[in-house]
Amino acid sequence: MTALDLAGPVAVVGTGTMGQGIAQVALVAGHLVRLYDAVPGRAAQAVQTIGARLDRLVEKDRMSAADRDAARARLRPADSLDELADCGLVVEAVLERLDVKQQLLRDLEGIVADDCLLATNTSSLSVTAIGGALRNPGRFVGLHFFNPAPLLPLVEVVSGYATDVTSATRAYETARAWGKTPVACADTPGFIVNRIARPFYAEAFAVHELQAADPATIDAVLRESGGFRMGAFELTDLIGQDVNEAVTRSVWESFFQDARFTPSLTQRRLVESGRLGRKAGRGWYDYEDGAERPEPHTAERARPPAYVVAEGDLGPASELLAMVREAGIGVREEDEDHGTRLVLPGGGQLVLADGQTSVEFRDVVYFDLALDYRRATRIALSASQDTSPQTLAEATGLFQALGKDVSVIGDVPGMIVARTVARVIDLAHDAVAKGVATEEDIDTAMRLGVNYPLGPFEWSRRLGKNWVYALLDDLHMRDPSGRYAPSLALYRHAYASDKREGTA
């Protein structure tokens, strides 16, 4: 039985935003589609709504009128679950409550044929637990679409502990036949995307809670230096603070309150105050009419240094040396086995974020990681109260001479982009080691699911074997809560033989 040769129509149970989106995807792919909702009349309304969406596709020349008419003819509402008896695939997209989903599946199992594939679109519940209500959980699988389903390509195909390989394969191939990009995933809290994306939000909130920078500055650094499409504060305002916080809390609780997934107290207070983001008119930012968007902190112009002394190659920031020369600033190179830093004319040092703090050293300014130092338009610097004003001014002027805006933040280890990327990479290595998904599927999921500029393993290879481990190890020494403790998988990666990768 092939993906597009399912034994009967496709049914979607639940006609909210996700249910309608999934139904539209199956419909456009050529299936007969039936919609059911427990609320009388709602399925019929959903049919009309999907039809209107198809009309808009025709207006935008993304669908022909003939294809639209044919699709409309294949879509109909169902007044009862019994009308789904001949379906080959049923996807449930109902309320995110375990008891509700289990009861629905028990009812469906008594109606559909034995070869009907049953699927859930849950984003937060255990596929194994939902399928535990079935007499035959082997035919049950997770099909986690991302919103809006007709537009976003990623589908996480989640195998519960009892899911048959054949069922997972059918679901995977069906999603691919529908024009989606499926990734295979074991049933773990958060699956791939919602598990590995937690640090993107958590580290931004942590830097803010440490009073090191305001939301607008942190967002600007994540976008303009890290290459992320949106910053953590503006993205959670778009998602909804209640929704984002609930996912974080669910993952944290499902991992038995693992410190790596600890929710943000500040975000909890935001939810409690009703500041849920765009939908409420206010979240981290104010969205009321006439409200002004706060600007990120940007340092005033400073005179660039006449020269710098490069000790070591600066590791992941090595391209800065050529950029400094191109800006007309002299570079004197000295071989140093123990250091990768720039020494400024006043004697102060400029060092890539490494998980340590400026206050620990004499006259050190840290600079943050960038996805691409040439294309970055903003660089964050951090300094302590003991850093000399001359050193901070020389560091600021240096990056301004390279065409960058400079944001000076507080003295936090790992800064903003560096600690975020390091933690994402660590969770990715940990997920592979625990059989959650392959490196390739994780990279695909993070690029397509949350628009990361690079997949975690692409970023890991770019940064080198030891850089992430060393940064997290230093962070862990300064915050021994367990939040930054490198995983065993990352430890093995950092210290493994170089024979496989051929790198130092």
b (16+ CB within 10 A) / e for 254-289: bbeeeebbbbbeebeebbeeebbbeebebbbbeeee
Residue 96 among the catalytic residues: no
Residue 123 among the catalytic residues: yes
Residue 300 among the catalytic residues: no
Contacts of 276 (CB under 8 A, 6+ apart): 240, 241, 242, 270, 283
List, edge to edge, every strand of the sheet that includes 341-343: 330-334, 307-311, 341-343, 349-352, 364-367, 378-382, 405-409
- Name the CA radius of gyration of the chain, rounded: 26
Contacts of 233 (CB under 8 A, 6+ apart): 204, 208, 215, 216, 218, 219, 283, 284, 285
Q: What is the bridge-based pairing of β-strands 75-78 and 89-92? A: unpaired
- CB-based contacts of 478-483 (< 8 A; 24+ apart in sequence): 478/355, 478/356, 478/357, 478/413, 479/413, 481/259, 481/262, 482/258, 482/259, 482/260, 483/259, 483/260, 483/262
Catalytic one of 123, 159, 225, 250: 123
- Provide the 3-class DSSP secondary structure of residue 228: coil
Contact, 324 vs 398, CB < 8 A? yes
Catalytic one of 109, 156, 203, 394: 156
Catalytic one of 121, 159, 194, 460: 194
Q: How far apart are CA 122 and CA 500, in angstroms?
A: 38
Q: How far apart are CA 219 and CA 232, in angstroms?
A: 6
Catalytic one of 31, 144, 208, 493: 144
Tell me 54's DSSP state: H
Q: What is the bridge-based pairing of β-strands 378-382 and 364-367? A: antiparallel
Contact, 357 vs 386, CB < 8 A? no
- CA angle at 341 for the pair 335 and 346, rounded to the nearest 5°: 105
Strand partners, 38: none
Stated as kind and residue range, the H or E segment containing 381 is: strand 378-382
- Render 89-139 in DSSP notation, one character per residue: EEEE---S-HHHHHHHHHHHHTTS-TT-EEEE--SSS-HHHHHTTSS-GGG
The token duo for 225 is 């230096």
127: nearest Cα among 168, 183, 86, 176: 168
Residue 194 among the catalytic residues: yes
Question: CB neighbours (10 Å) of residue 173?
Answer: 16
Residues noted as catalytic:
123, 144, 156, 194
